[in-house]
Structure 1
Amino acid sequence: MATGERRDPYRSFNFIMEIDGIPLGAFSEVSGLTSEGDSVDYREGTDRKNHVRKLVGLRKSANISLKRGYTQDKSLWQWYGNIVNGVPDRRNVTIVLLNEAREPVLRWHAENAWPNKIEGPSFKASGSEVAMESVELIHEGLTIDV
């Protein structure tokens, strides 16, 4: 990096989503890119100190929520329909953050994801908002590529 060159943070509105490597854009909001773990208390009978050790326990990831303006694309509803009908349809989902030149800079991968909840738009006769749909994805692990 040249001296004096700016390092502006990336903008949160500049992202795309891919399902099994296929770009599926037009989402206005993504949340839940969270991973955490539990600690396990452990103590051996031969420990001299009277306290427990903290060991690394199981990892868990939050559900990913996606929101987008309602369009004629019914792929999310079809995917949800597969799950409802007992079809084991798990897919890998990638959220890609883009820089100002629309080039990928970070990727979050959610493995073996499936839609647990889907929500159609709310209607209001006096409103002028865009009709929004949302979907909640459950997955088996979140990783990041930098």
Structure 2
Amino acid sequence: MSDDGSKQGNLWPMPKFRFEVDFGTQLTKISFQEVSGMDQEVQVIEYRHSNNVLFSTIRMPGIAKYGNVTMKRGIFVNNNKFWKWMDEMKMNTISRCTVLIKLLDEGGRVSMQWQLNNAWPTKIMGTDLKSDGNEVAVDTIEIAYEQLIITNGEF
């Protein structure tokens, strides 16, 4: 008899194909086909105590750095909200927002959430156009942010 996974409970890894991205009040919920680049890195600080008997440095955690998140979505008729958001950067008046990236379970409930604080667009790439292609037109937006908070469960 094969194992249907019912005895495993929550030990199975989550599939990554069901997710939603919420930009709050500015852009609301937008569907994406791909979200990548949610990473955090801590710089290493090396120093040597003046009275250290070892002839080596001590390594300590320093400032946290966050990579840019890249999101890809299909282009829809008369939907250029990202381009307008990018245009707001003129004269340093960019509106920052909180972006919520939610991984959903089979019931549509949030199982894991990445919160990007003080997010703003740093790069937008329009689709490539080919007369002999038949792919969907895709926009790509790259978002910089200042803090990443990861939470689990229903909100």
Can you give the 5+ residue segments of structure 2 that lack an aligned partner in the other structure?
1-5
CA shift in 2, pair 1:4/1:120, >3 Å: closer
Residue identity opposite 1:31 in structure 2: S
Instruction: Using the TM superposition, give the Cα deviation of residue 8 of structure 1 relative to its aligned residue in structure 2, in angstroms.
Output: 2.8
CA distance in 2, matches of 1:114, 1:128: 32
- Alpha-carbon RMSD across the aligned residues, in angstroms, is 1.7
Cross-structure match for 1:111: 117
- Higher RCO (C-alpha 8 Å, min separation 6): 1
Residue 75 of structure 1 pairs with residue 75 of structure 2: no
Deviations 1:63-105 (A, max 9, x none): 0000000013221111111013532311111100001111111
Residue identity over aligned pairs, in percent, reads 29
Residue 18 of structure 1 pairs with residue 22 of structure 2: yes
Can you give the 5+ residue segments of structure 1 that lack an aligned partner in the other structure?
none
- Describe the SS at the equivalent of 1:117: strand
CA shift in 2, pair 1:4/1:56, >3 Å: closer
Residue identity opposite 2:113 in structure 1: R
Query: Normalising by the residue count of structure 2, what TM-score does the alignment of the two structures yield?
Result: 0.86
CA shift in 2, pair 1:124/1:54, >3 Å: same
Instruction: Using the TM superposition, give the Cα deviation of residue 44 of structure 1 relative to its aligned residue in structure 2, in angstroms.
Output: 1.2
CA shift in 2, pair 1:145/1:5, >3 Å: closer
Residue identity opposite 2:108 in structure 1: R
Query: Normalising by the residue count of structure 1, what TM-score does the alignment of the two structures yield?
Result: 0.91
Instruction: Using the TM superposition, give the Cα deviation of residue 45 of structure 1 relative to its aligned residue in structure 2, in angstroms.
Output: 1.3
More divergent stretch after superposition (77-86 vs 28-37): 77-86
Runs of at least 4 residues off by over 6 Å: none
Q: Among residues 25, 47, 50, which one is paired with 1:45 in the alignment?
A: 50
Instruction: Using the TM superposition, give the Cα deviation of residue 5 of structure 1 relative to its aligned residue in structure 2, in angstroms.
Output: 4.1
